[in-house]
Amino acid sequence: MPAPITRRKMLKLIAATTTAAALSPIFHARARYPVSPEPANGAQTNSDIWTWMGRAIHTLAFYEKPDTSSARLDARSRDQTFPITRQVRAPFSAHNNLWYETPLGYVHSAWVLPVRVYPPQPFIRDVGEWGFWGEVSQPFTEAYANPDPQSGKVYRFYGGTVYHVVDSFEDGAATGWYKVFDEFPPTDPTHQWVLARDVRRIPRAEMSPIHPFAGKKHIEVDLDKQRLTCYEGSRIAFTTLVASGLGRVEGDAELDLATHTGEANVLLKQASRHMSNRPYPDGPPMAGEIFDLPGIPWNCFFDLSGTAIHGTYWHNDFGIRRSHGCLNVSCQAARWIYRWVFPIGGYEDDFIQSDRRVGTPINIF
């Protein structure tokens, strides 16, 4: 059992975190991804230096020990942030025993989104004809209707979400902005504007295929264990917990939010997808509670109804059924799966389409 956080230890954690931030980039954790273009003389750039921060998805309580019966030390409200110093395993629920140690105390992981936070990003004035894939590099950033902080806020984009950057703009105060594409049907206009300093250009190397020549790739999803496993032949290449569909909704006999069993294949891949069930003219009827989630990262669709394996930023509680039918995984796990499965496409593809002859087989049972 981890030791309780004493006042002295807490002060040391706060001091260490403050010092690391002040000396950035020297003491920040470093991502192990190559960055393109290569920095001169091997120097680090703002794209390969990061530190873990936690964002409160809902109101959180922090405890002296990783135990809700221990002394409560602090609390944070939605979207407030804090450093994560390490992971701890301790009893909590049957499916999730993951806690985070922080300068505020121990907090259970279910409603904490761990985010890679980067220093302010350089402004790329010329995004090229196609643009580039961008990832929000702060716990969150606001998306505006126009490249002006006084214009209306359209969304809050959260750390780890991914967008297609299609244009840039520098305002009179020399502040850089990126225009990001939004494919959701009722959106008008079909874009938003975000501060360039809060968006990291995703290097091509971070989207390159993983084990592209490996044979007999397939995925198995055990709904009882809430576990997804990627195989290359009989060898396990990767495994992760999922949050699958809730199933039938009590009080509504026609509403089925289950992840259905059977054999499928990856039919479509999208690095970014705006998922919403907000009603719009000539659109499908709303199913369940309204949700509106832009920038969902690393989507692998495996049926024609829109069910997918994808990254998740609205909870961090895997190993239990809680989705509308999709297979929720962490953003880090979703990126790995996206790069590993067939079909393979190029960096400058908004979507990569396939069929059952090419797409990686998925068996859900």
Which of 154, 162, 112 has its CA nearest to residue 137?
162
Structural domain for 169, as ranges: 132-202
Same structural domain for residues 195 and 216? Answer: no
Domain finish residue from 170, 202, 234: 202
What is the tens place of the pLDDT at every residue in 32-83?
222 333 344 444 556 679 999 999 999 999 999 999 999 999 999 999 999 9
Whole-structure pTM value? 0.86
Structural domain contains residue 288:
yes
Q: In angstroms, rounded to a whole number, what is the distance separating the alpha carbons of residues 301 and 321?
A: 19
Structural domain contains residue 281:
yes
Same structural domain for residues 198 and 215? Answer: no
Structural domain contains residue 77:
yes
Tokens 């970014």 belong to: 272
Structural domain contains residue 270:
yes
Q: In angstroms, rounded to a whole number, what is the distance separating the alpha carbons of residues 283 and 184?
A: 11
| Structural domains of the chain, count | 3
Same structural domain for residues 235 and 355? Answer: yes
Residues 6+ apart with CB under 8 A from 319: 95, 96, 226, 227, 241, 242, 243
Domain finish residue from 202, 232, 247: 202
What is the tens place of the pLDDT at every residue in 286-314?
666 788 999 999 999 999 989 999 999 99
Count the Cβ atoms, other than its own, within 10 Å of residue 287.
16
Same structural domain for residues 113 and 169? Answer: no
User: Looking at the predicted structure, is the pLDDT value of residue 315 above 80?
Assistant: yes
User: Looking at the predicted structure, is the pLDDT value of residue 1 above 90?
Assistant: no
Q: In angstroms, rounded to a whole number, what is the distance separating the alpha carbons of residues 325 and 291?
A: 13
Same structural domain for residues 11 and 110? Answer: yes
Same structural domain for residues 337 and 263? Answer: yes
- CATH number, residue 286: 2.40.440.10
Structural domain contains residue 67:
yes
Structural domain contains residue 247:
yes
Tokens 């669709």 belong to: 301
Same structural domain for residues 266 and 349? Answer: yes
